[in-house]
């Protein structure tokens, strides 16, 4: 079974409460339960942190053994050279995801330090962005 992990960055622990007009009204925990049931043929782990260094530690920890990382670095996407470097340093492929369409929002959200070293980017499909990333890893042959 493919071993995948979703890594979520700052403020994504507030999904359901945070700006529901942009991010929806579902908690990530509820959504994760549905995702896990939808993809019984992959092993799905989940990690969330509001702290940049902890996100880097997790990327390094899984980045040489897992089959795929689905990374929503949230606001750090637009600021963190350190997370960008971590994505570059590891062997596990990364798919960058965002719930909102960052290109239809403020200019500062148009820059990403993650994209240049990601396999691909999925954004703007709400929480479904994560489903699509998992499907992509699932459809890739060993």
Choose between 66 and 130: whose C-beta lies nearer to ligand DQA: 130
Q: What angle do CA 63, 39, 92 make, to 5 degrees?
A: 15
8 Å CB contact between 12 and 48: yes
- Judged by CB under 6 A, the stretch of 27-35, 51-59, 71-79, 84-92 that binds ligand DQA is 71-79
Distance from C-alpha of 17 to C-alpha of 26, rounded to nearest angstrom: 8
Q: Is residue 102 at the binding interface for ligand DQA, with CB under 6 A as the rule?
A: yes
Q: Which run of H or of E encompasses 12? A: none
CB of 17 to ligand DQA, least distance (A): 13
Tokens of 30: 């509820």
Number of residues assigned to the chain: 142
47 in active site: no
**Distance from first CA to last CA of the chain, Å, rounded?**
11
Smallest distance, ligand DQA to C-beta of residue 23, A: 7
Does position 98 interact with ligand DQA (CB under 6 A)? The reply is: yes
Using the minimum distance from each CB to ligand DQA, give the nearer residue, 36 or 111: 111
Residue 110 annotated to the active site: no
Active site residues: 23, 98
Binding site for ligand DQA (CB under 6 A): 11, 72, 74-75, 77, 98-100, 102, 109
């Amino acid at each position: 079974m493919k071993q995948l992990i979703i890594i979520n960055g700052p403020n994504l622990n507030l999904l359901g409460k945070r700006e529901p007009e942009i991010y929806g009204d579902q908690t990530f925990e509820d959504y994760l339960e549905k995702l896990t049931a939808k993809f019984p043929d992959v092993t799905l782990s989940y990690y969330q942190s509001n702290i940049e260094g902890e996100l880097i530690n997790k990327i390094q920890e899984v980045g040489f053994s897992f089959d795929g990382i689905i990374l929503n670095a949230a606001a750090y996407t637009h600021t963190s050279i350190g997370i960008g470097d971590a994505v570059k340093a590891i062997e596990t492929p990364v798919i960058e995801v965002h719930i909102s369409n960052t290109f239809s929002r403020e200019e500062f959200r148009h820059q990403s330090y993650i994209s240049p070293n990601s396999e691909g980017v999925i954004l703007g499909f709400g929480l479904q962005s994560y489903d699509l990333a998992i499907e992509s890893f699932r459809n890739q042959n060993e």
